[in-house]
Amino acid sequence: MAKQAASGSVRGSRTGRPIMALLDLLGRRWSLRILWELRGEPLTSRALRTACDEASPTVLQARLTELREAGFVELGEGGGYGLTLLGRELCETFMPLHRFAERWQG
């Protein structure tokens, strides 16, 4: 993803700034859901697909590949997907927004 930002080839942005690259990645279908579902523990492809309401295996794998390339997700030794340290840090940045959404909805 950093290569995209450096080359200026981020969808919807002429500048390719890092924030635009991140928002582009996170705005893709299932990206945020995958990160959210992995926040607790690693999951196998099948368990992750189930957690993501039976998302298309093709789309799910495409997003996992993108999130791995971005450094947020890794494939563990047991075959399950989990968050990297960077991925955990990213999820922690969502928590204030999550708490706000809970208050707003309630």
Q: What is the mean pLDDT of the chain?
A: 89
Per-residue pLDDT at 11: 64
The pair of three-digit structure tokens given for residue 3, joined into one six-digit string: 């290569």
Give per-residue burial for 38-67: e unless 16+ CB within 10 Å, then b.
bbeebbeeeebbebbeebeeeebeebbebb
| Residue 17 three-state SS | coil
Q: Which residues neighbour 99 within 8 Å (Cβ) at sequence distance 6 or greater?
A: none
More confident residue, 34 or 15: 34
* pLDDT band at 57; cut points 50, 70, 90: very high
Per-residue pLDDT at 106: 85
Asked if pLDDT for residue 7 goes beyond 70, the answer is no
Per-residue pLDDT at 10: 62
Average pLDDT over residues 52-80: 94
